[in-house]
Each structure stands twice: as C-alpha cells, then as structure tokens.
Chains A and B, each alone.
Chain A
Amino acid sequence: MKSLGNIRRSFTPWADPQSKPYISFKNVTKKFGDFTAVDDLTLNIYHREFFALLGASGCGKSTLLRMLAGFERPTSGEIILDGQDIAGIPPYKRPVNMMFQSYALFPHMTVERNIAFGLRQDGMPKAQISERVAQMLKLVKLEQFAQRKPQQLSGGQRQRVALARSLAKRPKVLLLDEPLGALDKKLREETQFELMDLQQQLGLTFVVVTHDQEEAMTMADRIAVMSHGKVVQVATPAEIYEAPNSRFVADFIGDVNILEGKVKSADNGRVEIASDDFTVRTLSDARQSAGSSAAFAIRPEKLRISRTAPADPSVNASQGEIWDIGYLGDMTVLHVRLPSGKVVKTSMLNAQREVENPIGYDEKVWVSFAETAGVVLRD
C-alpha cells in the first residue's frame, strides 16, 4: 500500500482559522440527576480527522460519544454535525455509526447479515447490498467467514465484523468506543495501524474513545484529554506529550517528573525557578511573577545521567545517587535519589547505554537537562 505519511503530516485543519469544523460541541452539558457527566464543553472536530477522546473512566468521554451517536441528549448546548444541529435527531436518523465496545454483534445473524443489517434497513437494492457486503468483508479480510455466526469467531474477528458493520453504511462520522479494549496487546498494536490506514483510505472522520493513552497517541491526529466532564487539553499527540498544559495532562500521559519551586526571575519568556535540588532555567510564555510558586515538568527520557559534571553544574543540574534500576529490554529505567530525598525517574535507551561499564546501584551521578527539555505547568 502507498505510504500515507505525507497526507498525515500535512493534515492540520485545526491550525487554519479558515477551515470550518465538521463537528462542533457548543457549551454542551449533560447531567444525570445530580451528576454532571459533561460540563459546559466546547470542542471542534474537523473533517477527515482521527480524533481521540482520552480520559479515565467516568470522565465523560463515553457520554460525549453517546451524545454524538444520539443515545443521550444534551441537557443544554448544541451539537453541530456538518452544519446541522443534531441534538434532537434520534440515533436511527443520524448519519453517524458507532462501533460498540462490546461489539454488539447480533448473535442470531451470520457475519454477512450483521454487516448487511443497516443496508437492509435502508432498503438498499439486494444486488447492491451483496456487493457492499463483499467489499466490506474484503476490507476487514473476513471473506471466508461470511456464513459464520458471531459466537464462532475469535475476539479479533468479531472486532473486524463490528468495524465492517459500522462502516457499511458509509457514515459521515465513525464513532469507536474503546475499539481495541477487548483485544490482546499484540493484536491491539497491529489493529491500531490498520484502523489508521482504513481511516485514510476511506477519508472518514473517526472519533475514538479510549482510556489507553498509547492507543490515542498512536492513532489520533488530535487528542482531547478529559477530566470531570471537561476538556483539559486538545492538541496533537506530540504537543500533549511535549507541552502538557497542566499537571493533570502531564501526569496522565506518560511518565513525568514534576519539580516544584518558586519563580526567581521571569522576563522575555525566560524563567528561572528555584526548586529543592535544581535551579531550573527554561523557556516559558506563561506570565510568571517572581516569588510565585511554579511547577516544572520534565519527561524521564529528557533527563541526562552522567558520571561527570555537566559544563555548568549550577543550572539545570543536580547530583544524586542511583536508587533503582529497571531493565526493560529496549531501555533502562533509572530512579535517582536527589539530595532533598526526592526520587526522579529517568530512562535511557539501551542503544546509548554503556555496555562495558554500566551505571550501577548506589553510584553517584549527575542529573542534568537542556533548557528546552521540559515545560512550566500553568496551574
């Protein structure tokens, strides 16, 4: 298959103020009794985007998806799809289809009938239905399983049937609720890439709900990190990882070390923070005033470990001792105990690790990082 990398790299409609969002949540609130599942949420999703809603269970991501599908109605606010307010349209009249977490395959129908279900419901001519079903079976590579019943399929095959069924009607938007949740790790990784290819091939808008950050990072063009019914940050996977806007996002996505301290000086986008073990000098566009408390987030792989002191040991550097070593095959995780007693997590690729004389337990080391290696958190 032709590489889709180029299309993907140049796809950034959210950065273009001229482009019109395809799906818009405008001040959407959903309450279940006293519980607010979605809280005054505003969010734009663009045509052909692979969009992920990421968050812990109970953060409102599934409710948001179910509102898009039509199973829940917003308590207040508008949901616009392709220029039309869909809040009052029942699920069976919406041009969106959903792939359910449980797959929800009809147990009394064969694979073929499952896929044809939506088409038959629409009264499509028979010849056209069988053509479309054959096409879908081919797409998910299940041609020889057409006559099977769902209970005679493996988990991975069922997932494909569910996918084929939700794609058969060529929806404007495909909603995926934890699409890979029930698969084992290996299959999940393969399927992630298949889903991405499929989405590009078909040119559809995908909205996926997941609690698995790796899944979201791999597949999505943009991720909305949600917490307590609100979107905390919407950005590309790289931005979310490299420049989390809050402690919550930094903590939720990947591993992070957070250094707390007081702002010593701030001018022209340069900030100096005094924390227990480090004097942090970094870049920040957030307005910080001297004396206010600040938190600096840095990823484990951005911390350098060395036996010799860095060029300027007074800034962005501290001594420490190796506290714990975890060997993960492709990389090694080192926990370093700093003079204040704080333990920071660092990781290094084993390709870069000294094989002859690796850093060992209790060894005194220097921990240092570059000015651009981390971010100052906003809250």
Chain B
Amino acid sequence: MTKLGSAIFRRLVIIVPYAWLLFFFLIPFVIVFRISLSTTAIAQPPYVPVFSLADGLAGTMEKIRQLSFDNFTWLAEDALYYTAYLSSLKIATVSTLLTLLIAYPIAYGMAQAPRTLRPTLLMLVILPFWTSFLIRVYSWIAILKPEGLLNQFLLAIGVIHEPLIILNTNWAIYIGIVYSYLPFMVLPIYSALEKMDHSLIEAAQDLGCPPITAFWKVTFPLSVPGVIAGCMLVFIPAVGEFVIPDLLGGSQTLMIGKTLWTEFNSNRDWPVSAAVATVLLLILVVPIVFFQNIQAKADEQGK
C-alpha cells in the first residue's frame, strides 16, 4: 500500500469507532437530553416543544427558551426517584459482588484446566446465550415459586418443612441477575488469568509463599483488570435492569428501570422518563470516568 493510502486507511480505521459512538450513543443521548428539558403535552409526540426545520432561526430560538430543567428539579424533590436510584445501586452492587464470588472460581478453574479442555469449558459458559434471555428469566419463576422445583426438591429431601418464599423478593432478583450476567464476569476474568505466566506463581512459591499467599500476592492482583472489566459489565446493566425485577421481583421492589418504564408507558411522561435516564447515565458515567482517570495516573506514575 502506498504511504498516502496507508495514512487514509489509518484515519478510516480510527473514524469507525468514533462514528459508531457518534451515531449510536452521542446523538441518541442528545435527543433524550433534549426531551428531558421539555414539558409533557397531550400530543404526538407527547411533549413540547418539538423542533422542526420549518421553524426558522427565530422560531428555534423561541423554542429553546421554552426548555427548562423543571423535570430534574422534580426528580430531586420526589423521594420516589431518590429511593429507586439508591435501591437500584444497592441491588446492582450486591449482585455484582455475588457474581464475582461465583465467577472467579469458575474462571480460575477454567484457566487451570488442561489446554485441550478450555474451548469446551468456554463454550459451556457461553451456551446459555443461545436461549432467549426472556425465556431463561421466566424459567426461574418455575424454579423459585412456592410450589416450584427448588421448594419441591428441598421439601423432598427434608431440609425445609414449608416452602421458602423466594419469588417476588430481592433474593429472586439477585439470583436472576447473578445467573443472567455470570458469563460477563467469567469471560474477562478468565482471559486475564489465562494469559498469566505460570512461572510467576512458581517464582512466588520459590521466594517463600505458600500457594494461598501466592494467589493473593500474585494471581489476584494480576487478574484485577479482568475483575474490574467484569464488574463493570455486570454492574452497569444491572443498575438499569428492568426485565429481571419486573418478572422475579415483588411489587415493593423499587428499581430505576421499572420506575422509568412506568413513567414512560403508564404515565406517558416522556420528559420525566428522559430525565430519569439522563441522571442514571450520569450516575454511571461519572464514577467510571473518575476511576479511569485515577487508573491512568497510576499507570503514568509507574513510568
């Protein structure tokens, strides 16, 4: 390839991810943000003002003046939203930790498995994705309900004498989230552990570490990037999760995804639901950017 050709090619390669972000993240976000500044109305679409190219400059300026942050003030004033955010964060945090506790040993076992067995194990981890997410969550209802499989089994072996109430509680949500997002935690941790040089463990043992200490001093720190990636892949969608709390959780379970759904569909209040979505995004994005900055600085200091 010519020099010019390769320069153009390089540009193109860089442009693709930026273009993707622009069209599928930034522009939709601007639209949602604009709606969150609007006022609800009985119309189609159900809010005003609606911008149009026909307005002209003066008309557009007039419409911009109609935008307001009232919806955000409303979110701050009503305890419902505040509680829903907190409860979502709590549920997401707990389920992320539970997922980590279960996923780490699985990933570790996979990385320790004979090389020939690893593709099969990887396949088994990914296999549940081949069935629809919705069907998998529904089947948990059949397992968890009072007369469900789990209770029948526990009653039969005599561990319990009356059915456990799991369905429609937060426990059911934790189970649902852990189950659904487990592969997202296993895969990045596995990939971090798998590429680790085994002689590092031997070196640690050689220098006086019993195997468990060697794990905590060498293996675990080196898998932290995988753990962080896995936690983000689970935590972020879990905060906004709607299907699992709706199907498995009870009526008293308050999660922001459900609140958003109610605002959008039942109340037909697009502006408020857009504001809920915007705040949710900020809650997730700000800590991540902050964290990555710290990480980048730490890397920089190493040099």
A interface vs B, CB < 8 Å?
69-71, 90-93, 96-98, 100-102, 104-108, 110, 117-118, 121-122, 148-149, 152, 165-166, 169
Contacts and interface: CB of A to CB of B under 8 A. Distances in A.
A289 B217 CA distance: 65
B205 A91 contact: yes
B207 A121 contact: yes
Interface string B5-21: 00000000000000000
Given A102-B197, A104-B197, A69 B206 contact: yes
A92 B202 contact: no
A108 to B, nearest CB: 5
Nearest to B199: A104
B221 A102 contact: no
Interface in B229-278: none
B222 interface: yes
Interface stretch (B25-33, B69-77, B95-103, B208-216): B208-216
A161 B183 CA distance: 39
Given A104-B199, A106-B203, A106-B218, A92 B208 contact: yes
Contacts of B221: 108
Contact of A152 (B206, B210, B222, B302): B302
Contacts of A70: 205-206
A106 B200 contact: yes
A102 to B, nearest CB: 5
A91 B303 contact: no
Nearest to A175: B206
A121 B206 contact: no
A-B interface, 6 closest residue pairs, ranked by CB to CB distance from nearest: A118-B207, A104-B203, A121-B208, A104-B199, A91-B205, A149-B302
Contacts, number: 66
A201 B243 CA distance: 71
Interface of B: 197, 199-200, 202-210, 213-214, 217-218, 221-222, 302-303
Nearest to A122: B208
Given A106-B218, A108-B221, A121-B213, A90 B202 contact: no
A276 to B, nearest CB: 51
A98 B208 contact: no
B204 A117 contact: yes
A71 B208 contact: no
Contacts of A71: 202, 205
A107 B203 CA distance: 12
Contacts of B206: 69-70, 91-92, 96-98, 166
Contacts of B217: 117
B294 to A, nearest CB: 16
Contacts of A121: 207-209, 213
Contacts of A93: 208
B203 A92 contact: no
9 contacts: A91-B202, A92-B206, A92-B210, A96-B206, A100-B203, A107-B222, A117-B204, A117-B217, A169-B207
Contacts of A90: 205, 210
Contacts of B207: 92, 97, 117-118, 121, 165, 169
Contacts of A69: 202, 206
A94 B30 CA distance: 64
Contacts of A97: 206-207
Given A102-B199, A106-B203, A106-B218, A92 B209 contact: yes
Given A92-B214, A104-B199, A107-B222, 15 more contacts: A69-B202, A70-B205, A90-B210, A91-B206, A92-B205, A102-B197, A104-B197, A104-B202, A104-B203, A106-B200, A106-B203, A106-B204, A110-B302, A117-B204, A165-B203
B205 A169 contact: no
Given A91-B202, A108-B221, A118 B208 contact: yes
Contacts of B214: 92
A97 B206 CA distance: 6
A238 B222 CA distance: 47
A111 to B, nearest CB: 11
A324 B228 CA distance: 65
A329 B217 CA distance: 52
A152 B303 contact: yes
A100 B202 contact: yes
A122 B208 CA distance: 7
A71 B207 CA distance: 12
A69 B204 CA distance: 12
A64 to B, nearest CB: 16
A97 B205 CA distance: 10
A93 B205 CA distance: 9
Residue from B203, B204, B214, B218 whose CB has the most chain A CB atoms within 10 Å: B203
Contact of B222 (A102, A108, A110, A149): A108
Nearest to B218: A106
A97 B207 CA distance: 7
A20 B18 CA distance: 72
A152 B301 CA distance: 12
A308 to B, nearest CB: 60
Contacts of B204: 106, 117
Contacts of A100: 199, 202-203
Contact of B200 (A101, A104, A149): A104
A118 B208 CA distance: 6
A240 to B, nearest CB: 30
A149 to B, nearest CB: 5
Contacts of A91: 202, 205-206
Nearest to B196: A107
Residue from B206, B208, B213 whose CB has the most chain A CB atoms within 10 Å: B206
Residue from B205, B208, B214 whose CB has the most chain A CB atoms within 10 Å: B208
A94 B221 CA distance: 25
Contacts of B203: 98, 100, 104-106, 165
A102 B221 CA distance: 20
B21 to A, nearest CB: 30
Nearest to B301: A147
Given A104-B200, A152-B303, A169 B208 contact: yes
Contacts of A166: 206
